[in-house]
Structure formats: C-alpha cells, structure tokens
Amino acid sequence: MEAAPATATACAPGMDSIPVLDLVVDMNVLHWPPSDGEGMTVVVDMPSTTPPSKPRRDDGSSPPCRKKKAPMSAEELQRKKQASIEMRRKRNRESMQRARERERHQMEELRAHAQALEETYTHLLENKRSAVSACHSLLPFQDAARYSELWTRLEEARSESKQMMAQNLTLQSAIVDRIKGEDRVEGLLRELLREQQLLLESASFDRDLLVNDANFLRCISERQVVDLILDSRSGQRFVDKLGFDSNDSIRMELFGWDTHRRAMGQYLHISSTKLFRNHRALDVMTRTWNNEMRFVSYRNAKQAASQRQHFMRKYNDDAYMFARDSPDPEGNVVRMGYVRFRLHEPDDTYVVATQSVKPELCTFVANPHKHRVWAHELCQWQFFKPVIEQVMGDDGVEQLVEHCEVRVMGRIAFGDLSNSDRNALETILGLLRWENINIGPMLTLTQSLDGGD
C-alpha cells in the first residue's frame, strides 16, 4: 500500500519573513520500527533560498546607485521630531510599567517572606510552650540536668523569637517605604507628563509668536515710547480735570478705599484713595515697582492663568515694555502691548503708571484681529504721596511720622455698558490684592478676650 508524501512545515517564532522549509517524507522509504541494519530514511525537499542576483548591464557592470533624497521640509522635520517625542514618551511609559511590575513582584515576595516568618515564629513559640509544659509536668520525676537543658533551649528560643520579631519589623518598614516610594514615583511621573505637555504647548505657542515679537520690537522706538508717556500724562490730567462730582458718578467705600467711578461713552473713569499709616511713600512705591517687574498678578486665578505676560524691552531703569496674551472665545490669541514707567513729581510724589500701546503700532495685533481689540485703551496712574504728621512720643517730645497716601486713578475702555460694573468690581478687587501683596493684610481678625461673640 502506497501513501502520498507528507509535508511538514516548520517556522521559528518571531521569524515570519524567513522562507518556510518543506519536509517531504516518502512513506515508502520510511519504515517503523526499522529493521535490523536499516535506518529511517527522510527525504527533505528544501527550496533554494539564494537571493536573486542584481540585474547587470550588458557590459557586466552594476547599475548606478540611486540619487540621494532631497532634504526634508520644515513640516516633515517637525512631524519627525513629534514622532520621536511620542516614541520616547511611549518607551518611558513602558519602562515605568516594567519597573512597577518588578517592584510589585518584589513586594509580593517580601509579603510572602514576612508571612512565612510569622508562621515559623508562631510554630516555634507553640513548640516551646509545649516543651515547657512537658518540662513542668515531668520536673518532679527528672533530674536537674534535664531541667537545665530545657531552660537553655527556652532561652535560645526566646532569643531567636526576638530576632525574628526584629526581622519582621524591618520587613514591615521596608514594605511601607516601598509603598511610599511607589506613590512618589507615580506622582512624579504624572507631574513629568503634565510638565512635558505644558512645555510642548508653550513651545508651539512661542514658535507661532516669534516673528510677531521681532516685528513688535522693530516698530516700537524710544521716541514712540516718549510720545506714549506724554499721551498718558494728558489722559491723567483729563481724568483729574473731569472730576467725579456729577450726578452720574458713583461713590463707595470698601476696606478703607474711597472709590469714585464714572462711565462716559465707552470709557470707565475711576479714582480710589487710601491712607496707609507708618509707611514711607518711597518704600511702598519701590515694592510696587519691583512686584510689577516680576509680574506679580493682582487679578483672579482664572485670569492670571489664561492671560500670559511677557517682558519685551527695557528702555531705562524707569521704563520698560511688556505684552499680555489674551485668548478669545474663538481660540485665537490677541497680544496687547503696554508701557510701564515711574516718575518723581515736583511735590515729592512718586508715580507708577501703565499706558497701553496703540493697536496701529502693534502689527501683529492690527492685521488679523484689529476689529476685536477694544480693551487696549488703558491709562492707569498710581500716586504715592508722603503725608507728614506730628505726634507726641513716649518721652513727651513731638516727632514727625510719615504716612503714605495711595491714589489710583485712570480710565479704561470697557466695550459696552454691560461690562462697566464687572470691570469696576474687578478693579476694586485688584486694589485689595495689591494691598495684601505690597502693604499687608487688609483684614486682621482678633479673638475676643471673654470668648463671646
């Protein structure tokens, strides 16, 4: 009886691209069990795996090499860089997962070892107790040598149990430390991922505005800054001359700030005054200027997080330029420029003022979103006026004490009347935050001595 040849296919795991070997076994040749003097014969039909030769020309020479590829564009480089970053992040996550898996196995082994030690300790303690009980029951019938031997074994068991208890405590401490370390590593990983995401977003945002920053610095000259300061002085004098004695002005007093506000057209005029005792005007002005240089925010947390401020250019020790980026509801970013400067008035009053830059000077604002930029008109002046007072000292001698009167005045474009109240409230809250940062707590809560309400 003849059988068809059987074909066996073998392929090593992970080697899908290697040619498969076909083993052809002739059943007429294969005999099992083999007879004496005869062995099993296997006929293997292996296809040739020799790679095909490269085509050659008629003269026997090889074809010329391919030309080099053209250099990749900036977009392709960016995509390649982004793919590299994503691959690196993926490898980092996989590495952290493997590390955590190893630590988890080690923790399980430590727990198992601790449990085994506890069981051994319990078993030995039970054995020693039974041995002591037997010793006490047989003591009247045994000699002193037997009693001494059992007592020695008992002391050894006690010493061994103490050592095992110390080892158990050490293992428990190691387990707790491992758990804390794992929690710290997990928290650090989350922070690193969040920081990396923020860095990627910040790099993309700064790359988009790099060209605009260069245009901004080129178009704002020192002469234009001087003109802006003069315009700001004119705006301050206009607000001071306008006054707040009309019927349409609103007055309120909150936490010592005497505030007047008046809405005219699309502008909100505001003036707030407060006297701070035992504070020198120069010190308060210096602290305010330094905090403004560091961009210490007097706005709420939401606005401070969404509106980013950038230091653009320093003209001298008393004037510099900065910009603020504000996202609009459509997802675009509008950048507005401001000039901040300080002055020393002839009446010994110090001034820290902020004046907005006109949109036509900011090419990066005027081109795409000029019709949406209405909140650029800001003129704010902070006056720090020293107030001298004669007081009677503890020794009965009159002394001169300096106080500081702070007055914040200016105007801002608020768009429409519906935003007037909100802008006024935000300005007052900004004054309270300014007082907390530069002067001290605006409220001091004291406990009643009698414990009553």
Compute the residue count for the chain: 453
Which tens digit of pLDDT belongs to each residue from 395-452? 778 888 899 999 998 888 776 666 666 666 777 788 888 888 888 776 665 554 444 4
Lowest mean pLDDT: which of 147-156, 202-211, 427-436, 438-447? 202-211
Q: At 360, is the pLDDT very low, low, confident or very high (cuts 50, 70, 90)?
A: low
3-class DSSP assignment, residue 395: coil
**For 77-82, what is the mean pLDDT?**
88
Which tens digit of pLDDT belongs to each residue from 233-292? 888 888 888 877 777 778 888 888 888 888 787 778 888 999 998 889 999 999 989 888
In the chain, what are the domain boundaries?
A: 1-46, 103-210, 220-438
Peptide bond before residue 33 is cis, with ω within 30 degrees of 0: yes
Answer whether 0.75 is exceeded by the pTM.
Answer: no
Of 329 and 103, which is predicted with more confidence?
103
C-alpha to C-alpha distance for 434 and 384, rounded to whole angstroms:
14
DSSP states of 3-59: -PPEEEEE--TT-TTSPPEEEEE-TTT--SSPPTT-------BPPP-PPPPPP--TT
- Range 144-155 burial, b when 16+ CB lie within 10 A, else e: eeeeeebeeeee
Residues 320 and 355: beta-carbon distance below 8 Å: no
Nearest of 401, 381, 299, 397 to residue 340 by alpha carbon: 381
In angstroms, the Cα distances linking 261 to 245, 381, 386 are: 10, 15, 24
**For 67-76, what is the mean pLDDT?**
74
For residue 151, pLDDT over 90 is answered with no
220-438: which CATH architecture?
Answer: 2-Layer Sandwich (3.30)
Residue matched to tokens 């007047």: 260
DSSP states of 420-438: HHHHHHHHHHHHHHHHHHH
Nearest of 378, 401, 379, 375 to residue 390 by alpha carbon: 401
3-class DSSP assignment, residue 290: helix
> 3-class secondary structure for 69-110?
CCCCCHHHHHHHHHHHHHHHHHHHHHHHHHHHHHHHHHHHHH
CB atoms within 10 A of CB 174: 14
In angstroms, the Cα distances linking 438 to 171, 272, 441 are: 53, 16, 9
C-alpha to C-alpha distance for 438 and 230, rounded to whole angstroms:
28
